[in-house]
Structure 1
Amino acid sequence: MLFMVEMQVNIPLGFDADEAAQLKAAEKARFQELQAAGTWRHIWRVAGQYANVSIFDVESNSQLHDILIGLPLYPFMTMKVTALCRHPSSLHDDDR
């Protein structure tokens, strides 16, 4: 199942800089782990914002939920999740 997830990160002003740096490093490591597994298929920055648009390939809604709430920066994120399905005109066979 493919999902588009729009993530906006809002770390509060005055939040401990060292803790924020640790969370960002842990977030990057988790992202790279999920990307290597093929679960986090794509990520794009939103220009001018601390935000991204990502495509996830998961087995279920529950799996996506567990991944998202397990992200180190989750407590500071606002997300919008959109389910996707293959468009019949797509030339790509991996667009499930």
Structure 2
Amino acid sequence: MACTRLLLIVVLSCVLFTPSESASCCLRYYQRPVPCHRMTGFTIQTISSSCDLQAVIFHTKDGRFMCADPAKKWTMRVLKCLLSRKTD
């Protein structure tokens, strides 16, 4: 019984806390500015039936995802930095 409960907790943790590019959905924004050198890329989350938050999802070098408010100045600054890297 304890083993089954532990397995259920592990599976739920993976589903709830490990975003993947195809199934990620930002529920809230990361509040602190993040330096561009820690980022490898980004995706844009639009409002849909499953995600009710407009967001920029930054991809970090360590494989994590950070949801940012597209209206914040620091978000736009990091986006410009990432886009300039692609053109160089």
TM-score (norm 1): 0.27
State the structure with bigger RCO (CA 8 A, min sep 6), 1 or 2.
1
Higher helix share: 2
Higher strand share: 1
| Higher gyration radius (CA) | 2
